[in-house]
């Protein structure tokens, strides 16, 4: 009986840890310009000045160059993290109300080549 309870407890702890890791859509990492939010591959995430009211203004060709940080259909908001619906119906993660994007010209984790792009409209997403 004790062995069964110990095993059950271990499974609950493992599931809780997995959920906690999955709950955060991005993590904080060092980049060429300091701490930033990064995706699961370690690629720097960005915000766009033209986004307003929790809505993405980056669609079509813009979203090809600046891929949105896509959220699963079942993703739930938590703390500073929210989920917005894009014009195409896809779900996207936002941090403190700002939709998040990667930049196709960043080639390796820690790159920040998108910072200041388009007359300063793109910014590294800071924690």
Give the other-Cβ count within 10 Å of 98's Cβ: 22
118: nearest Cα among 58, 32, 54: 58
Place of tokens 């998040």: 100
Predicted pLDDT of residue 103:
98
Euclidean distance between CA atoms 40 and 123, whole angstroms: 19
pLDDT of residue 6: 37
Q: What is the pLDDT of residue 30?
A: 94
Nearest to 31 by CA among 97, 103, 120: 103
Closest to 95 (Cα-Cα) out of 108, 79, 112, 73 = 79
Q: How many CB atoms lie within 10 A of CB 71?
A: 22
Instruction: Provide block-wise average pLDDT over 10 residues at a time, the chain (127 residues).
Output: 42 36 81 95 98 96 98 96 97 97 97 97 97
Q: How far apart are CA 91 and CA 85, in angstroms?
A: 5
Q: How far are the Cα atoms of 2, 43, 102, 121 from residue 105, in angstroms, in the given order?
A: 55, 11, 9, 16
pLDDT at 49: 98
């Amino acid at each position: 009986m004790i062995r069964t309870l110990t095993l059950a407890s271990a499974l609950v702890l493992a599931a809780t840890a997995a959920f906690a890791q999955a709950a955060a859509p991005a993590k904080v990492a060092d980049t060429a310009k300091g701490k930033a939010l990064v995706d699961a591959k370690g690629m720097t995430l960005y915000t766009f000045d033209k986004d307003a009211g929790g809505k993405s203004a980056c669609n079509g060709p813009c979203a090809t160059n600046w891929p949105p940080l896509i959220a699963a259909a079942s993703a739930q908001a938590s703390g500073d993290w929210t989920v917005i619906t894009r014009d195409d119906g896809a779900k996207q993660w936002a941090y403190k109300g700002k939709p998040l994007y990667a930049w196709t010209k960043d080639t390796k984790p820690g790159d920040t080549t998108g910072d200041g792009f388009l007359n300063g409209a793109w910014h590294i997403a800071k924690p």
